[in-house]
Chain A
Amino acid sequence: MKKRIDLFSQRISSKALIDYLRKIRTYSLYSFVGLLGVIVILSGIYVYFSLRLNNLSDKRNTYNRYIVLNTPFVQDLRRFAVKFSLLKSMLQDDARSYTYYKHLITIVSLAPTNGTITSFKIDSTQKTEFTIHFASYEDAIAFIEYSETAAFLDQFLNISLNEFQISGDGDVIYELMYSGSFIKLP
């Protein structure tokens, strides 16, 4: 488009400059107010977190003091916990051998003959092996007969005579070796 005469054109350029400067002034004012707002907000956040931090710091000190005061108790408690766990595991693995040994003595004592229990093994599943010595062949046979009675068998889930041995150089000993499982005692 052809350039036409316009005497406002030079004036407009100075007006544009004034407008531009006015815009800068306005934007600067808005920026300053905005910046001030941001500073106020950040200060608020800083004060809030400082107070919160102080509060938490006080709490931490209180808890630290509490921890220091209760250290012996905590150590006792720990020891107790260790012992308790050991006890629990021991009780879990305990075969209660003494109880079952006494129970076996009672069972053997009910027999018409006197035998001596020379070995006894039991595990936590009540699986057992025991050996009984007899001084005479008759006693051993009598015990075998007894072992076939309900009074003997009712005490076991299963029981079998594994070996019948005769040993000894001078005095002969008759040895009966049983293996099986006790009925679980209460």
Chain B
Amino acid sequence: MAGTFSLDISEQYTRLAHLSKKKDKIEIHSLGYDNTIPNFFTNLVEKSAQEQSKVISLLHNKLNIPSTSVHVVLPDDLSYSQLLLMPDLPEKELVKSIRLQADEFVPLPIGDVYVDLETIAKLPNGKLLIVFIAAQKKIVDHVHSTIEMANLEPATLENELSAVGRMVTEMFTFIKTPTLIINFGYGGTSLYVMNPPFPYFQITRTIRIGYDIILRDLKVNMNLGDAKAVEALRTIGLSANGSINVNAIIYPIINEFIAEIEKTILLTKEKYNVSISNIYLFNYDNHIGYLHETIQNKVSVPTQSLPLSSVLVPNTITQTFSNILSSFIPVIATHVR
């Protein structure tokens, strides 16, 4: 791991992490972020790759990261994920049969996507738990060429579900009760249900409500500029006591968001007859003030950011980023391979 570093390119931020794993803890050597260039994932041309490569290169140099080999993580809303229960077949047959039914999970021609899968565990009932990940070829190729333009070596690419799922199951062993982990992303949100002793996420759902839609709603309705809207969301957010009433504007979307959370809790209850006892959020959760408190009040389940600091070796970097550490979870998770 010391010979590599990790990179999270999302629509809003580009985040870099360089760390090493020490027993059950993670020691962060470097952590940094910058804005991703506008339309990096919608304008898949060489020019946008070049501009984004400059951002990555600058960040890499500023953080003085010695390694050039990079593990990359893509947002869930730019990829396709599916948890599968398959019979215990030989790997070749397994891959073959999953590829045959891949069109059920991916709303694109199968020739337009790169597909990969990982066998998570063999369950007590003899079936294999498999995570299936796919992403558009043109996005993967665009990311790949961007990294190469930054004079770095692309090592691996996965999505947030794959990276965070691995880290949570391997390092967050203190989660012993049914827990809902919410990846509040930029373009969408993923909801993962952990139900120990099940070895991985038991339910995963994706909804199209993310930070972006809330920010845009606020900008349009309050006629705010980018920076002001971001700042208003972060500092005032869902508080009733702000200088501007952000809550009144974004409340319908937040309500819808909370309704999705409740739906997931209900689904878990119906399917597995367990009640969610904790909700953990990460990614853009700290970009909306009082989001945790609002969710907690609405669904009556203790809600907080995913306690990343419990698996980190404390140092000046963790102190500096303590308020926004949960937004670095995907980039840290993809490094822990």
Real complex partners, A and B? yes
Interface positions of A (Cβ within 8 A of B): 2-11, 15
Question: Which residues 151-190 in B have Cβ within 8 Å of A in the complex?
Answer: 154-159, 162, 166
Assess A6 versus B119: contact at CB under 8 Å? Given A11-B114, A11-B140.
Answer: no
Residues on the A chain within 8 Å of B117, using CB: 5
Q: Given known contacts A4-B166, A5-B133, is B141 in contact with A11 (CB within 8 Å)?
A: yes
Residues of B within 8 A of A7 (CB): 74, 79, 114, 116, 133-135, 140, 156-158
B222 to chain A, nearest CB (A): 39
Given A9-B116, A11-B114, check contact A4 B158 (CB 8 Å).
yes
Q: List, in ascending order, chain B residues with CB within 8 A of A8's CB.
A: 72, 140, 144, 154-157
Bound-complex Cα distance A7 to B116 (A): 6
Return chain A residues, CB-CB under 8 Å to B17: none
B323 CB, nearest partner CB in chain A, Å: 30
Contact A11 B156 (CB under 8 A): no
CB–CB A6/B156 < 8 A: yes
| Cα-based distance from A5 to B157 in the complex (angstroms) | 7
CB distance from A78 to the nearest CB of B (A): 88
Closest 5 CB pairs of A and B: A5-B158, A6-B156, A7-B157, A5-B162, A8-B157
Contact residues of B with A, CB < 8 Å?
72, 74, 79, 114-119, 131, 133-135, 137, 140-141, 144, 154-159, 162, 166, 337
A3–B91 Cα gap in the complex (Å)? 11
User: Bound state CA distance, A8 and B4, in angstroms?
Assistant: 16
Kindly list 8 other residue pairs between chains A and B, CB separation below 8 angstroms, not including A5-B116, A5-B131, A11-B141: A3-B118, A4-B156, A5-B156, A5-B158, A5-B162, A6-B116, A7-B156, A8-B157
Kindly state the separation between the CA atoms of A62 and B157 in the bound complex, as whole angstroms.
Answer: 83
A-B contact list, 12 entries, CB within 8 Å: A5-B133, A5-B158, A6-B158, A7-B140, A7-B158, A8-B72, A8-B140, A8-B154, A11-B137, A11-B140, A11-B144, A15-B144
Report A106 CB to chain B, min CB distance, Å: 123
The chain B residue with its CB closest to the CB of A12 is: B154
Residues of B within 8 A of A5 (CB): 116-118, 131, 133, 156, 158-159, 162
Chain A residues, CB < 8 A from B162? 4-5
Residue of A5, A6, A9, A15 ringed by the most chain B CB atoms within 10 A: A5
Q: How far is the CB of A6 from chain B (nearest CB, A)?
A: 4
B170 to chain A, nearest CB (A): 11
Distance in angstroms between the alpha carbons of A15 and B134 in the assembled complex: 19
Contacts of B72 in A (CB 8 A): 8
> What residues of chain B lie closer than 8 Å to A9, measured between beta carbons?
116, 156
Q: Known A9-B116, A11-B114, A11-B140; judge A4-B337 contact (CB<8 A).
A: yes
Please state if B157 and A6 are interface contacts (CB–CB under 8 Å): yes
Q: CA separation between A86 and B72, bound complex, in Å? A: 107
Of the candidates A3, A4, A10, A15, the one whose C-beta lies within 8 Å of that of B114 is A10
What separation, in Å, do the CA atoms of A4 and B137 have in the docked complex?
A: 19
Chain A residues lying within 8 Å of B133, measured Cβ to Cβ, are 5, 7
Residues of B within 8 A of A2 (CB): 118
Residue of B nearest to A15 (CB): B144
* Pair B144/A10 contact, Cβ less than 8 Å: no
Q: How far is the CA of A15 from the CA of B135 in the complex (A)?
A: 18
Contacts A11-B140, A11-B141, A11-B144; is A4 near B157 (CB within 8 Å)?
no
- Please give, as numbers and ranges, the residues of chain A lying within 8 Å of B135 by CB-CB distance: 7
Contact partners of A4 in chain B: CB under 8 A: 118, 156, 158, 162, 166, 337
B139 (CB) vs chain A CBs: closest residue: A7
Q: Which residues of B contact A3 (CB under 8 A)?
A: 118-119
In the bound complex, what is the Cα–Cα distance between A76 and B141 (angstroms)? 97
User: From residue A17, how far is it (CB to closest CB) to chain B in Å?
Assistant: 14
Report the Cα distance A3→B133, complex, angstroms: 13
CA distance A7 to B143 in the complex (A): 11
Most chain B CB neighbours (cut-off 10 Å) among A2, A6, A15: A6
CB closest chain-B residue, reference A1: B337
Cβ–Cβ contact B116 & A10, under 8 A:
yes
How distant is the Cα of A6 from the Cα of B73 in the complex, in angstroms?
Answer: 10
CA distance A9 to B134 in the complex (A): 12
Closest to B163 in A: A5
- Docked Cα-Cα span, A11 to B117, in Å, equals 15
Give the Cβ gap from A13 to chain B, nearest Cβ, in Å: 11
Q: How far is the CB of A56 from chain B (nearest CB, A)?
A: 63
CA–CA, A3 to B94, complex, Å? Answer: 14
In the assembled complex, the Cα of A6 lies from the Cα of B159 at a distance in Å of 9
Residues of A within 8 A of B140 (CB): 7-8, 11
